[in-house]
Amino acid sequence: MAPGLRETKRIATMKQIQGAAIELFDKHGFANTTVEEIAHRAGVGPATIYRHFETKERIIIWDEYDEGFMDAMHSLIAAEGLTSALRALCKEVDDGMDDEQIQRIRARNRLVETEPALQKEYVATAHEIATMVASALAARANRTAPSSADVAVGHVIAGLFHALMLEWANDESGGRSFESLLQEALTAMHSELFQESAP
């Protein structure tokens, strides 16, 4: 179902703020840029930034594709399994982003890789993803709470997603699909983790 007018405006405002923030962070640095300066560049009030993002760090961590991501992935994993969810994620990344969106992701990745404050926030987001995956796996197995194995798989998926997003977004040639990167990573993991020991 397409988002309503209010939701469309909210996302457009958040994208406008994020774009202004990225420009200022690239020019002056993350620590040297204030929320007030971002608000001025974006043509909004500081209160609007805090209402939408809560913190300066969240401006960069936020992604429009995160809207509803956790709920959708949880439902898909619980109903159809992790493989189906990963395939759906690949399709969303490979088919659903234009050049402007990819460039914003690349700019955000550059900032995350160089700013400790953003790295800390990203770790918190990765933990949320890991928790969601573990909860969904438990629901699929009709367990009331995630097992230690569910938690471990959740953290593996969160780390894998982060690593692949960095590699995919930073591929300036655009020659690698997210699906091909994921398949390559899963094949390598299986080979390394489950290879039989030589006699």
Q: State which CATH number among 3.40.50.1100, 1.10.10.60, 1.10.357.10, 1.10.3720.10 fits the domain covering 64-194.
A: 1.10.357.10
The answer to whether 132 touches 74, Cβ cutoff 8 Å, is yes
Token representation of residue 97: 């982003």
Question: In the chain, which segments carry CATH 1.10.10.60?
Answer: 5-61
Task: Give the separation between CA 28 and CA 175, rounded to whole angstroms.
Answer: 32
Write down the residue that tokens 């953290």 correspond to. 155
Lowest mean pLDDT among 69-83, 128-142, 166-180: 166-180
Q: What is the mean pLDDT of the chain?
A: 86
Global confidence as pTM: 0.77
Report whether pLDDT(2) > 60.
no
- In which residue ranges of the chain is CATH 1.10.357.10 found? 64-194
Range with the poorest average pLDDT among 63-72, 82-91, 99-108, 153-162: 63-72
Question: Which one, of 97, 118, 83, lies nearest residue 169 by Cα?
Answer: 97
**Residue 68 one-letter amino acid:** G
The more confidently predicted of residues 40 and 113 is 40
Angle subtended by helix axes 5-28 and 99-114, to nearest 10: 50
Residue 1 has pLDDT above 60, yes or no: no
Tokens 């398949």 identify what position?
A: 183
Dist CA 188 CA 182 (whole Å): 10
CATH number attached to the domain at 5-61: 1.10.10.60
Mean pLDDT of 135-142: 95
